[in-house]
Amino acid sequence: MQSKFSTILGKDLLKISIRLSACLLATALCYGQVVVENPKQPTNPEAGRTVKLLEQIRIRDDGKEIVFKYPDQLQIGDDGSVHFANGFEHFKYDAQGRLVYKVVKSGQGPGESMLATRALLTTEGILIQAVNPPKMMRFSSKGDYLGEDRTTMTELYEFVTLINGQIYAFLEETPQWNDVPSPNYYEVPISFCILSPNLKDVRKPHQFPYRWYLGRSYGWQQARFDFAYKDFETIYIVHGIDYRIDHFNPRKNKVEKTITRKYDKVKRPPDPREQRPGYNGPPAEAFYYDINKVLVAGDHIWVITSTRNERQSRLVDVFDARGRYVDNFYLEFPSGFTPSGLILGRVVLKDGFLYTVDEDAEGLFSIAKYKTLDPGKRSEKRES
């Protein structure tokens, strides 16, 4: 059953301004939902230190048969295998960084696609959605083509997990461009979806507001969307510009908790493109989005913020399972490599290791596995 707020958005996606949406959302927060408001500083007296990463494995292309044009959709298997997309192609490397397979070829036949695709790891192998032609493809853990189901779906999902024969995913709804009365900020929902593996059955039990700047027949996303899956009762979701993480429980179909903290926004430098004559984009943003990425770290969550130190290392906030702000640290990457984007699909934290899509000074991409520390353990002991 949809929430009251979800139903309103579903009926009229674009006629609710951001101001009215904020009022409705505030009302929803006050109705049976826990809001954990944290102070500016964490409880750990050692907070603010620098945590360095130690490279374990780096996966590179060969420059000939395999070329990483812009790796994305990074996923890590339970066996430590590394999976990612490269355009419509999908790669699997084993835990030692050796190539296992490359699947999806260019075309419209079995196991082929003409445009970008989305993948979901399963215990049997991998499911891959294509939109041209629209279908769901199945491959084994060794990369063998197992078959496909044709669909009518022409929008790509952000897959979360597969449980008991049902796929759970997020879908960024398409704005109804022609209904925009005037250029402005509007809320277009991100839908939490329950799907059959062949995409024939699609349900949208919950929606999250997501800010766009829209005019007639054009628009720009104006918010950050990110999520971290812990288990079927815990998905941490970011879907705005301010410091806010929603703890969503799919089993109960409700946001059970919202985690916030007092945060000094980071000023955004002027963008020369916004100063050009004839520019008709959204108004210039004064600040960066507060949160870039949320990650599950055992019983804690890591929140990668927009704050940097003098070495340009990112500030990572650490919250415990109750949503209390217990620690923070600056995450320093090895010299010569920069994550191509600390956002959805390019950073994964699993079993104490951080995996990222990196770019070097020459613009070449690679996939790295780094050894990480757990800076939340000390603060957890102090708080227990």
Local confidence band at 377 (pLDDT 50, 70, 90 cut-offs): low
Local confidence band at 373 (pLDDT 50, 70, 90 cut-offs): low
Yes or no: say if 3 and 206 are a contact pair by the CB < 8 Å rule: yes
Local confidence band at 16 (pLDDT 50, 70, 90 cut-offs): very low
Report the pLDDT averaged over residues 302-317.
Answer: 96
Closest-CA residue to 375 (of 334, 331, 329): 329
* Those residues with Cβ within 8 angstroms of residue 5's Cβ, 6 or more apart along the chain or in another chain: 24, 25, 28, 207, 209
Of residues 1 and 68, more confidence is placed in 68
Q: How many residues does the chain have?
A: 384
Report the pLDDT averaged over residues 28-35.
Answer: 62
pLDDT of residue 278: 76
Yes or no: say if 61 and 68 are a contact pair by the CB < 8 Å rule: yes
Q: Give the integer Cα–Cα distance in Å for 358 and 355.
A: 9
Average pLDDT over all residues of the chain:
88
**Torsion-angle region of 192 (φ positive above 0: left; ψ -120 to 50: alpha; else: beta):** beta
**pLDDT, tens digit, for every residue of 97-122?**
999 999 999 999 999 999 889 999 99
What would you report as the CA-atom Rg of the chain, rounded to the nearest whole angstrom?
Answer: 21
Q: Give the integer Cα–Cα distance in Å for 99 and 119.
A: 18
Of residues 64 and 16, more confidence is placed in 64
Architecture of domain 4-269+279-383: 6 Propeller (2.120)
Examine the pLDDT at 293 and tell me if it is beyond 70.
yes
pTM of the model: 0.89
Local confidence band at 29 (pLDDT 50, 70, 90 cut-offs): very low
Q: Give the integer Cα–Cα distance in Å for 302 and 353.
A: 13
Examine the pLDDT at 3 and tell me if it is beyond 80.
no
Examine the pLDDT at 175 and tell me if it is beyond 50.
yes
Examine the pLDDT at 22 and tell me if it is beyond 60.
no
Examine the pLDDT at 210 and tell me if it is beyond 90.
yes
List the single range of 171-180, 226-235, 254-263 with lowest mean pLDDT: 171-180
Domain ranges of the chain: 4-269+279-383
Report the pLDDT averaged over residues 325-338.
Answer: 92
pLDDT of residue 258: 98
Examine the pLDDT at 126 and tell me if it is beyond 70.
yes
Examine the pLDDT at 152 and tell me if it is beyond 50.
yes
